[in-house]
Structures are given as structure tokens and as C-alpha cells.
Amino acid sequence: MQVHQEGSVVDVALQSGVVEGYDVAARAKALSRLRGIDIVFRVLTRASALGVLIILGGVIISLIDGSLPALRTFGLNFLIEERWNPVTEKFGAIAPIYGTLVTSFIAMVIAVPIGLLIAVFLTELCPMFLRRPIGIAIELLAGIPSIIYGIWGLFVFAPFLQETLQPFLIATFGNVPVLSALFAGPPYGIGMLTAGLILAIMVLPFVTSISRDVFDAVPPVLKEAAYGIGCTTWEVVRYVVLPYTRVGVIGGVMLGLGRALGETMAVTFVIGNAHKVSSSLLAPGTTISATIANEFTEAVGDLYTSSLIALGLILFVITFIVLAIARYMLLRIERRIG
């Protein structure tokens, strides 16, 4: 509170006795002290803002530095080799990359339509008094820590899928040419499909809340005009709201994708950690983040550790690009609605 009293007018500070005497010298001294504080504060805030950039720079530099031994040994082959053998110290990243992309793809295929439909419900159909509570409930899904999804997926969801969905998929598509390869093998419960489904639940809130926000930002005049010429609610959504908010929706989807790509704990529990590129979605696989989480503390030898860090670098580059596109898209729609 001392600071606060000084911080009012200098004269008041002098009169109230915080600074003694009321002459020109004291006044000048008080003023220069205030200016000093002002400059220090400004420099501090600027340094902190630069600190955010330094964190990003630090992440990139440390990841590159850590992955150099692996990249030097394996070169670009690291990106396309499937082998992952800690004993002979031969490492390749294609299996985790493949698993990451496949699980995220499954997640987005499921989460995007459902998320958009929930956003439509919240903005067009839902009675006013229910909008906030339902919106918050969906957002709470995003607040649940990923390890909870993991433990739930391992003990509840995977056994459930093993007994219901997976045998059904195998029985239904077992004899269909292309699909039989996708749903081949015994139902393990864990595997890429299970991981993708859990990721879908996890990214759903992101897709929903961003779509809802951009849907809400559509000028009412546009919607009213469409209703005025006799459009149904669905037609308003399909031909007015969606075209108007397309960029924002894509931004939200990319943001969800960024989450799905980098999600670690939930996937680690249910993916099975098998370094194998397998066409079957029911087979165990691995993702970049799951590999790092499972193996990093047990990795012996510089090359092993370095290969894991190189995986981290690949993950960071992929998510950085996806998130940068997402932010760019959202910035564009913000400007337009703005």
C-alpha cells in the first residue's frame, strides 16, 4: 500500500508526509524516483513479453540440439524407417508418425460433425436458459485431465469396445474387400481405434466451443433475412451460418487437431505401444507422444534418448504448423466480424 500512496500525485505524496519537506529539491527527487519506477516497470513487462518468445526459441533450439545425434546417425531415413530396436540401436519414426496421424484422423472424423451439431443445437435450438449450463458442461469435458481419460479408457472403455463394437466391426466388414483390411485381427480392446475414439471425446469440446462462438457472431440480420423468405432452421445453418463462418470453423477444427496430435496420457494408456505400421485399426500401434512417455525414462544410451527427442521435434513441427494455420484462420474471421 506504501506504493499506492506514493503513486498518486507527487504533491499529495509530499503533503501527506511520505516524502519529507515541501521544496523544489524534494519535489524533483520524488519525480525522478517515480520516473525510475516507471521505466523499470516498463522494461520488466517488455522483458516478460520477450520471455514468451524466448520460451518458444528455447523449445526449438533444445529439441534440435537434443535430436542432432539421432539425425546425424540416421539422416532422413529416420523419417521413413519402421524399425525401432533399442538393442541394436536402430531407430525409425514412421510407426509413431503413422499412429499419430491415424488416431488424430479418426478423432477428427468423429468429433467434427458431432461438435458442429452441438454448436448448431446451442445456437439455434436450445432454450435460452439452458444455453449457458449446457455450454459449460461441454467445456468441462475439456477440463478433465487427460490422465483421467486414460485410466477410464483402459479399465472401462477398452473392455467395452472389446466386447461390443470391435467384434461387430470384424463380423460386418470381415468379407468386404477394402474394409476387411481396416478391421482385421482379433479384438484386443486397446489399439488405434480405441485411442482415436477417446481422442474424439477429448477434442469435441474444442470444436464445439469455437464453432459456437463463431456461429454466435453471425449478424442476426443475415439469419432473419433467410428465415424471412421461409428457410427452415437447417437451411439457415447450411446456407447462411456455415458459409459465413467457414474460416472460423476450420480454425476451430485445426485447433482441435493440434490437441489430438499432441495428446499424450490418454493415448498412452490405450494404444498398446507397438512399433508397427499396421493397416488394421484394431491393431495396437503407437503415437509419437505415447512412445516418448513410455520409453523416455527407461532409455539407455545417447542414441536412444536422442531418437526420442527427435520424435518430439517432429511432433512439435507438425503441431506448430497445424496450430499456426488454426490461429491464422481464426484471426481472419475475427477481423471480418470484428
Q: Which is nearer to another protein, 145 or 174 (CB)?
A: 145
Q: Which is nearer to another protein, 21 or 51 (CB)?
A: 51
C-beta of 41: minimal distance to another protein in Å? 4
Handedness of CA 167, 171, 173, 179 (dihedral sign): positive
| Helical axes 302-337 vs 24-74, angle rounded to 10° | 120
Contact between 245 and 330 under an 8 Å Cβ cutoff? The reply is: no
Q: Which is nearer to another protein, 9 or 178 (CB)?
A: 9
Q: What does the alpha-carbon distance between residue 145 and residue 139 come to, in Å, rounded to a whole number?
A: 12
C-beta of 107: minimal distance to another protein in Å? 14
Cα 256 to Cα 250, 271, 325: the distances in Å are: 10, 20, 12
Q: What does the alpha-carbon distance between residue 207 and residue 194 come to, in Å, rounded to a whole number?
A: 20
Q: What does the alpha-carbon distance between residue 187 and residue 317 come to, in Å, rounded to a whole number?
A: 34
Q: What does the alpha-carbon distance between residue 109 and residue 106 come to, in Å, rounded to a whole number?
A: 5
Write the Ramachandran bin of 291: left for phi over 0, alpha for psi from -120 to 50, otherwise beta: alpha
Q: Which is nearer to another protein, 59 or 182 (CB)?
A: 59
CB-side exposure of 36: number of CA atoms within 13 Å? 6
Q: Which is nearer to another protein, 261 or 281 (CB)?
A: 261
CB-side exposure of 117: number of CA atoms within 13 Å? 5
The SS3 call for residue 68 is helix
C-beta of 192: minimal distance to another protein in Å? 18
C-beta of 80: minimal distance to another protein in Å? 22
Q: What does the alpha-carbon distance between residue 36 and residue 28 come to, in Å, rounded to a whole number?
A: 12
C-beta of 219: minimal distance to another protein in Å? 22
Q: Which is nearer to another protein, 280 or 318 (CB)?
A: 318
Q: Which is nearer to another protein, 191 or 262 (CB)?
A: 262
C-beta of 237: minimal distance to another protein in Å? 8
C-beta of 23: minimal distance to another protein in Å? 18
